[in-house]
Amino acid sequence: MSYENLSGRTAVIAGAASGMGETTALLLARNGARVALLARRADRLETLAAKIEAAGGTALAVPVDVTDPASVSAAAATVHAAFGPVDLVVNSAGVMLPNPITAGREDEWTRMLDTNVAGRLRVIRAFLPDLVTAADTGRTADLVNISSIGAHVAFPGYAVYGATQAAITQLSASLRAELGARKVRVTNIEPGLTDTELGDHIDNAELSGQLDGMFQVMESLRADDIADLIAYTTSRPAHVNLRQVIVLPTQQA
Q: What residues act catalytically?
A: 161
Residues 6+ apart with CB under 8 A from 147: 165, 166, 168, 169, 172, 188, 189, 190
**Angle formed by the axes of helices 19-30 and 42-54, nearest 10°:** 20
Q: Kindly report the CA angle at 82 between 147 and 127, in degrees rounded to 5?
A: 35
Check if the beta carbon of residue 34 is closer than 8 Å to that of residue 13: no
Distance from C-alpha of 210 to C-alpha of 220, rounded to nearest angstrom: 14
Q: What gap in Å lies between CA 209 and CA 202, rounded to an integer?
A: 10
Strand 58-63 to strand 221-222: parallel, antiparallel, or no bridges (unpaired)? unpaired
